[in-house]
Amino acid sequence: MASIYKRKQDKNIKRTCWYIGYTDHNGKRKTSKGFSDKKETERLAAKLEHDVMLRKKGIIDPEQEKQAEKRNASLVEHLEAFEKSLSKTTIQHIERTMCRVRRIINDARMKTPADINVESVESVLQKMLENDEIGHKTYNHYVQSMQQFCSWMVPERMYQNPLVGMNKLNTEIDIRHKRRALTLEEFQKLIKSARTSGIDIQCYSGEQRARIYIISYMTGLRRKEIASLTPRSFNLTATPPTVTVEAACSKHRRKDVLPLHHELVVLLKEWLTGDPNEPLFPKLAKRRTWLMVKLDLKRAGIPYETDEGIADFHAAGRHTHITELLRNGTSLPEAMRLARHSDVKMTMRYTHIGINDQHRAVQNLPWECPGSASETSNGHCRSQDDTNEANSLNDETPVTDRGYQELSSSDSECQKWRIGGSNP
């Protein structure tokens, strides 16, 4: 039975709220705040008692009630819970994801989960495209973040993800940051330029920059992955020698073990002389590595940007690494594994095969005509004896204006055969 009462401190004060004490369907004592009007509070108490009775009889499902409350809750509460669920990812990923989701929710004026729909999200993103705030690739990142948020909401906070199947844009027609791979000659000039510069860039000497470039090119590691490397990351005595990138530093959050080039192993034996636990290149993750490469390329007389794209740190190292793997006979599945891509399409984006590479590939096609390198006009091979006979006839026998060899009268039968043979 529900009871109505006022708290002791409110008994002698007018217009204070009444409170309701009742027992729920699980037998637990509950307290609910009523109204300042006693009769209205009594009606609420009667409703609470009636709902308890319905729950006991199974007419009302308590779990569905909880879900309904969550679905009707403000998106602000859901966003706070969603941000906590991302705690196992990197800080940068959390910040970017939450920034994108909040931007769409605020611009679309969404209040509850029921307000989320494809039309509202597309409207916000299309406006950002029109204002040139984002490109196609960033557009897709916003869609991905919203889909991740809605997938997390299902099934406790939403019945289904309303953004499933939302169309993304073609990034190939709106490339904002096109990169190009360096040729081997250009990369060697980059190394020489860094070592002979005699100046520090981004707090790194020329020799340090050269080492960073070499490791990036020889391993294909990303900037932050290189920044995480310590002498302990390398096992130079293993067969084969390897470098390990811990899951916390890898882009796809998995521990990676990669083989090392034998020439790099020789260099590393000279370089790995410091504290085994200290990073080889401190604070590299926060440095403007693109500026390092740009200045060293300029000194070497190599353009930083061409029609093919820019040659920043990621391009000079990782793009060149993957491209050279394929140029030198590595199969596409092997290159994909070394690049640590989950899709071969991503590997192809890092592959810069130009017309010269295609020309060399065509020239490598095996071809040998059976019996001779000579061919007849209709594409059939002919023997060397046939060729010699034809040459002999051309040298000794005049050709008439009728298109066949003029033979002696003693060979009239043969002449008729040749005439007939020339016009089958």
How are strands ordered across the β-sheet holding 29-33?
3-5, 19-23, 29-33
- Both tokens of 49, joined, read 């008692």
Task: Give percent above pLDDT 70 in the chain.
Answer: 82
Give the model confidence (pLDDT) of 177-204 as tens digits.
788 999 999 999 999 999 999 999 999 9
User: pLDDT band at residue 160, thresholds of 50, 70 and 90?
Assistant: confident
Asked if residue 188 belongs to a domain, the reply is yes
User: pLDDT band at residue 122, thresholds of 50, 70 and 90?
Assistant: very high
Give phi and psi for 310, each to the nearest 5.
-95, 155
275 and 217, same structural domain? yes
**Angle at CA 394, nearest 5°, toward 390 and 397?**
120
Bridge partners (DSSP) of residue 375 are 381
**CA–CA dist 115, 112 (Å, integer):** 6
- Domain count within the chain: 3
Give phi and psi for 413, each to the nearest 5.
-65, -40
Query: Which of 135, 152, 173 represents a domain boundary (last residue)?
Result: 173
Bridge partners (DSSP) of residue 399 are 405
Residue 410 predicted with pLDDT over 50:
no
- Both tokens of 360, joined, read 């060399």
Residue 141 predicted with pLDDT over 70:
yes
Give the model confidence (pLDDT) of 277-302 as tens digits.
999 999 999 999 999 999 999 999 99
Q: For the whole model, what pTM was predicted?
A: 0.59
Q: Could you count the other beta carbons within 10 Å of the beta carbon of residue 117?
A: 14
Long-range contacts made by residues 304-308, C-beta under 8 angstroms, separation at least 24? 306/180, 308/178, 308/180, 308/352, 308/354
333 and 217, same structural domain? yes
What mean pLDDT, rounded, does the chain reach? 83
pLDDT-wise least confident of 128-137, 202-211, 246-255: 246-255
191 and 169, same structural domain? no
Bridge partners (DSSP) of residue 19 are 5, 33
Asked whether the beta carbons of 314 and 182 are under 8 A apart, the reply is no
Instruction: Find which of 2-11, 173-182, 325-334, 415-424 is predicted with most confidence, using mean pLDDT.
Output: 325-334
13 and 144, same structural domain? no
Asked if residue 40 belongs to a domain, the reply is yes
What average pLDDT does the segment 78-88 reach?
Answer: 91
What average pLDDT does the segment 312-322 reach?
Answer: 93
Residue 377 predicted with pLDDT over 60:
no
293 and 243, same structural domain? yes
Cβ neighbors of 306 (< 8 A, separation 6 or more) are: 180
pLDDT at 71: 65
Residue 104 predicted with pLDDT over 80:
yes
What average pLDDT does the segment 129-156 reach?
Answer: 90
Task: Give percent above pLDDT 90 in the chain.
Answer: 44
Give phi and psi for 256, each to the nearest 5.
-115, 135
Give phi and psi for 252, each to the nearest 5.
-95, 15
Residue 352 predicted with pLDDT over 70:
yes
Asked if residue 53 belongs to a domain, the reply is yes
What average pLDDT does the segment 161-183 reach?
Answer: 82
For the chain, the farthest-separated pair of C-alpha atoms sits apart, in whole angstroms, at 148
Give the model confidence (pLDDT) of 56-81 as tens digits.
777 766 666 666 666 677 899 899 99
Residue among 390, 379, 384, 321 at smallest CA distance from 350: 321
**Between 406 and 113, whose confidence is greater?**
113
**CA–CA dist 139, 6 (Å, integer):** 56
Residue among 366, 395, 369 at smallest CA distance from 382: 369
Residue 349 predicted with pLDDT over 90:
no
| Residue 226 burial class via C-beta count within 10 angstroms: exposed 0-12, middle 13-18, buried 19 and up | buried
User: pLDDT band at residue 387, thresholds of 50, 70 and 90?
Assistant: very low
Residue 134 predicted with pLDDT over 50:
yes
Residue 391 predicted with pLDDT over 60:
no
User: pLDDT band at residue 7, thresholds of 50, 70 and 90?
Assistant: confident
**Angle at CA 305, nearest 5°, toward 93 and 301?**
125
Q: Write out the residue range of the structural domain in which residue 16 sits.
A: 3-60
pLDDT at 107: 94
DSSP state of 251: T
pLDDT at 259: 94
Asked whether the beta carbons of 304 and 311 are under 8 A apart, the reply is yes
Write the Ramachandran bin of 244: left for phi over 0, alpha for psi from -120 to 50, otherwise beta. beta
pLDDT at 235: 94
pLDDT at 173: 65
H or E stretch at 417: helix 412-422
Asked if residue 108 belongs to a domain, the reply is yes
Angstrom CA distances, 18 to 24, 33, 83, 149, 237, stand at 19, 7, 37, 40, 78
219 and 314, same structural domain? yes
159 and 199, same structural domain? no
**CA–CA dist 173, 343 (Å, integer):** 20
**CA–CA dist 193, 117 (Å, integer):** 54
149 and 44, same structural domain? no
220 and 86, same structural domain? no
Query: Which of 305, 330, 354 represents a domain boundary (last residue)?
Result: 354
198 and 109, same structural domain? no
Residue 401 predicted with pLDDT over 60:
no
User: pLDDT band at residue 222, thresholds of 50, 70 and 90?
Assistant: very high
Query: Which of 11, 37, 60 represents a domain boundary (last residue)?
Result: 60
